[in-house]
Amino acid sequence: MAVEEAIPRKVGEGVVRNTLRFWRNKNTIVIGRFQKVTLEVNLEACKKYGTTIVRRFTGGGAVYHDQGNLNYAISLPKEHPLIHNNISINFRNFLLGFIEGLKVLGLKVEFKPINKIEANGRKISGAAGCLRWGAFFLHGSMLVSSNLNVLSEVLDAPQDDLASSYVRSIRDRVTTIHNELRTDISIKDVKQALKTGFERSYRVKLIEGMLGKQELTLAEELYQRKYSKEKWNSRAESE
């Protein structure tokens, strides 16, 4: 999460190139900036599976990450010609690139306002974003082969009479690339397809690179003062 914030900050300052980042995470729930952990997470299930809980700097709902999940993030200067002041329009504009990539794999997918990609009526990817620090930032998670059983247990509703049906509904509302294609596919192949779709959609050439010194230095600072702290991860910013 610290790296996730460092990149758009430096892109907004004009010291780092426009960036598309792919990354993965182990057995983690990532909650939105304004969410309460106790309303979104089944803490007993997290203890059972050893699931970590972290908070991101964007809004939106909680998501589950494991090694079968491919995360993506776009960082562009706010004045970029493709950027609109309406964040909902930005979701549509930039998720279309990933939709094109999924079509390369043979998937039938569509954009669902305001921030989802669906396959056969089930969510296969969701996104969050913001306009801050002189930059536009969008990130999301792509369900490639994630364990949906664990996902449905660790993401939970408030403990009321509807809790059990709510958990079942989470499982029913999401799908994975593996499930839709009915075949195994590697993270590497999915990443390549998404890159192809992105390049075709925006007529750009992606150049592979490494994090620079400025990004790494800022990420370490953000980790030490924010993302490693219980106060940030357990309390919603609005509290």
Residue whose structure tokens are 């994975």: 176
Please report, for the domain that includes residue 209, its CATH number: 3.30.930.10
What is d(CA 17, CA 209) in angstroms, rounded to the nearest whole number? 10
Residue 74: inside a domain: yes
What is d(CA 35, CA 220) in angstroms, rounded to the nearest whole number? 24
The pLDDT value recorded for residue 38 is 86
The pLDDT value recorded for residue 7 is 98
Residue 157: inside a domain: yes
Task: Give 174-201 pLDDT, tens digit per residue.
Answer: 999 999 999 889 999 999 999 999 999 9
DSSP state string for 10-56: HHHHTSS--EEEEE--SSEEEE-TT--HHHHB-HHHHHHHT-EEEE-
Question: Please, which pLDDT band fits residue 39 given cuts at 50, 70 and 90?
Answer: confident
Residue 239: inside a domain: no
The pLDDT value recorded for residue 238 is 58
Residue 159: inside a domain: yes
Residue whose structure tokens are 């969410």: 35
Residue 203: inside a domain: yes
Range of the domain at 71: 2-234
**Claim: this prediction has a pTM higher than 0.75:** yes
The pLDDT value recorded for residue 206 is 96
At residue 170, does pLDDT exceed 60? no
The pLDDT value recorded for residue 237 is 67
**Which pair of tokens denotes residue 10?**
């430096």
Task: Give 80-96 pLDDT, tens digit per residue.
Answer: 999 998 888 999 999 99
The pLDDT value recorded for residue 93 is 94
Question: Please, which pLDDT band fits residue 158 given cuts at 50, 70 and 90?
Answer: very low
* Number of domains composing the chain: 1
- What is the average pLDDT score of the chain? 90
Closest listed residue to residue 118, CA positions, set 130, 127, 109: 109
Residue 59: inside a domain: yes
C-alpha dist (Å) from residue 159 to 39, 107, 151, 165:
9, 36, 17, 11
